Structure formats: structure tokens, C-alpha cells
Amino acid sequence: MKKIKYGFYGEDDAQKIFLKNYLRHLPNVIFEPDDDFCNRYRARNKKQVDEKFRMVSQEGFLWYQHDVFFVGRDLDNHLKDDYTAKFTWFQDYSHDRQKTLFMIPVQCIEHWLWYLKIKQDNPKLTKNEPLETKPRPEAKRAVYGIPEAINAISIPIVNELTTQFDIEWLESRSNSFRHFHRQVQSFLTQFVS
């Protein structure tokens, strides 16, 4: 199996855990996180992600020899034009467009987690209710039980929800997850072949 070393720079631990567990679900490849790098380069908020992702990804590629680099940044709203503009802006300022992939959940990562929680709580449910237009505090409350959670509460919940999940199912529910997943698939097609 092909091993791929990756770096991550994002605005919170929930994104990092989601990414790590998501990548474990992909067949025929082993993604190895560079934990030392990720612990050294940590963003505190979305502003730092926006301002420093290019420099941090360059460090990852040049000094840490990452094969791929992931950037995590919540969108904070559900407007399609804003999503497209943010993704385009990230790509335009990217150090390496082919190997820098952008995880941009609509509103926040908790919306992706909310979908997973619904599926976990109701495995036979087929109704496709759009969640990404619902307010962020509502998503956080649905996932964590409270509108704002500290890492001691959120990390175990994120890990539990993402250890096992159906990628195709989540892709069918969330356009922003589908867009991210397709970036990863495109990268793998180029990298593994």
C-alpha cells in the first residue's frame, strides 16, 4: 500500500480529528499525519488560517517533506457564492495547487458531524434533510449537547462520530463535504498512479 505523509493547518481540533479518521477510510493508501508538524503549527482562529496557510504549507512541503497538505477553515455561512469565493481565494494563494487540499465545511465542521450523528442515531433513515443552512449554535448543540464545547467534551465526541462512517452517505448529504472528498480523490488519482 502507498504511504502518504500529510500536514494539516486548520482552525480547530475537531477538523484535525475528522480529517485523520476520514483518511483512514480511504482504500489502498495509508495517510500518515505529521503530528510533530501539526502540533508545532496550530492556528487559533480562521484569521490565522487565512493569513498563514501559505507560509505553513510551504514549510510542510519544503522542510517536512509532506506529500500533501490539508487546510481546514469553516466558512461561517451557507451562501454558495461565498463558498466558491473562499475556495478560489485559497487556491489562488496556494503554494502548490495540486497538493494543497481545502476542507471548507459550510458554516462549521459540526454540520458534517451533525449529519454523521443523525446517521449513527438512525441508521435506517433515508430522509435527506439539509442541515447546513441551520445556525452554527444549533449544529454544535446537536453534536455536543451545548452551543460551545471545550476540547475535553468535543474531542471524544468527534472521534466517536468519525471512527466509522459511510463516506458515500455523507457525500450525498453535504455539498461541501462532497467537494472536499472529490479534491482528495483527484489528488489520489494523480499521486498513486
Mean pLDDT of 89-97: 93
Give the residue from 168, 159, 185 showing the smallest Cα distance to 20. Answer: 159
Q: What is the pLDDT of residues 6-63, one digit of tens each?
A: 999 999 999 999 999 999 999 999 999 999 999 999 999 999 999 999 999 999 999 9
pTM value is 0.95
Residue type, 130: P
CA distance 10 to 38: 9
Question: Of 5, 31, 29, which Cα lies nearest the Cα of 19?
Answer: 31
